[in-house]
Amino acid sequence: MLFTVLGVISLFLRKRTINSTVSGQDKNFDRQEEGLVTGSNVATSDGRKIGDWCKESSLHLEEQIKVQTEKPSLEEPVDGQSEEPSLVEPDSVPGEEQASKFAKPGCSHDDPPNVVSAKPGCSHDDPPNVVSAKPGCSHDDPPNVVSAKPGCSHDDPPNVVSAKLGCKDVGKSATCQTEGAVPPKKKNKDTNIIEINSHRYEIGAELGKGGYGTVFAATRLQDGLRVAVKIANFKPKRLFRVDDFNQLLPAEIALHFLATKGPEVKELVQLLDWKVEADRYFMVLERPTPCVSVGDFLRDHEGRIPEDVLRKIMFHTTIAADTCLKRGVFHRDIKPDNLLMNPQTFEVKLIDFGCGVPLTEDYYITYLGTVQFMPPELKKIGYYYGEPATVWSLGLLQFLLMYKKFPEKRDLRRMKNKNYYQYGRSEECCDFFSCCLQTNPSLRQKLNALRAHAWFKRIIKKI
């Protein structure tokens, strides 16, 4: 009888202890609903969950229940008899539940086990072992994806590493991809092909670049002809009318067409085709091979240029200048960089009519070209004429080739009396540039006279 009474008392005390423990936890869960992050996990002294302990025999009265407080968790308590979480007061002690660990405060929705957020941010439906290095959201990322900077990564392929601009030390099986970049596509063979008036051209390397356009090496696909294609900006829009065409043409195209119209002159680069768009135009030009600009030749050449080479360069340039004027074109920018030279024969071709204007008998009050080649009379009297200005530019060209500098005032004074000489040069050589570099434009030689100058007699005889 006594043992029966003691057994009933023991069962009563055990039930009060369990109810007290559950009631304390219920209060914590109530506070959690109010926005307090104070939830705790319940476990026995040997590390087992209380849900497991409840399954054991109630006769083990000597075991004591200890409540150990873990790190704060947002996990909701689960009824031992139900697998779904509930905010209703449980009738029994919560069952087994795996806890999610957070390095810092943040929000987690339906995260699977072993998900780590390194800094505050949201992770939705992330798979295991996904690490977000900085704040941001990651949705449906595959395993082992690392986001190096804030932002969201959606449906990235496996083993893709987002890094800063440039890739380094990426594994062989990984794809190198910069932030926001699109995976490289295979280069289309037609990428560098343009069509101009039913002819297709394959664009190659850049040959040169000026103030208004760029020149590229190209090949005409129809017959394999090697050409040069110039792509120029239509700014400013200088337009001229040519008798052969109804519509106005860009100044460079119109003047180049007029200069090369008629019998071919080998001292002028031929204009083969062109195309005009709203804000740019294309020019298909002859591409002599081999060739180098006289400017590059002058910069690379060490020592004095032989007189025979000087003679050939100046002879071909004089013919080009005279041909332009006779065909009604004032080039206005004859200089070393606008002359292409065959380094084997030293034959020269004039290019780039972008600064030119139609030749008139009237004078000009504005100048468009290289400032160092501007005729001195424009600054002195405010106007200039086409032919004397062209002759002046020929004299400057020869002086540069001989001395690699522009003439100074004292040099021009000596040329006025035609007593300027360079040691080792012929008298005819020095007389040619002295005839061109007269500060008084009326004293300069005419182009017809320069073509027949005594310095060129040796070349003329061979023609």
Catalytic residues: 333
Joined together, the tokens standing for residue 304 give 């004095």
Neighbours of 133 (CB within 10 A): 13
Rounded Cα gap, residues 276 and 221, in angstroms: 21
Task: Compute the distance between CA of residue 449 and CA of residue 420 in angstroms, rounded to an integer.
Answer: 20
In Å, how far from its chain's centre is CA 347?
A: 38
What does 180-203 look like in DSSP terms, one character per residue?
TPPPPPPPPTTTTEEEETTEEEEE
What is the crossing angle of helices 427-436 and 307-326, to 10°? Answer: 30
Distances (CA, A) of 119 to 32, 37, 99, 402: 23, 18, 19, 72
Q: Would you call 424 exposed, middle or buried from its count of C-beta atoms within 10 A (0-12, 13-18, 19+)?
A: exposed
Structure tokens, 413: 């004074």
Paired tokens of 225: 């002809």
Sign of the CA dihedral running 242, 247, 251, 257: negative
CA atoms of 322 and 309, how far apart (whole Å):
20
Q: Are 230 and 214 in contact (CB under 8 A)?
A: yes
Q: Could you tell me the maximum CA-CA distance found in the chain, to the nearest angstrom?
A: 151
**21 in Cβ contact with 65 (< 8 Å):** yes
CB of 329 within 8 A of CB of 261? Answer: no
Residue 154 CA to residue 160 CA, distance in Å, equals 12
> Which residue, among 313, 343, 332, 463, has the nearest Cα to 385 in the 3D structure?
332
313, amino acid identity: I
Tokens of 309: 């080479």
Is 119 a known ligand-binding residue?
Answer: no
Q: Which helix (H) or strand (E) holds 239?
A: strand 239-240
Under 8 Å between Cβ of 99 and 73: yes
Order the strands of the 146-147 sheet from edge to edge.
116-117, 131-132, 146-147, 160-163, 175-178
Could you list the residues known to form a binding site for ATP, using ranges.
230
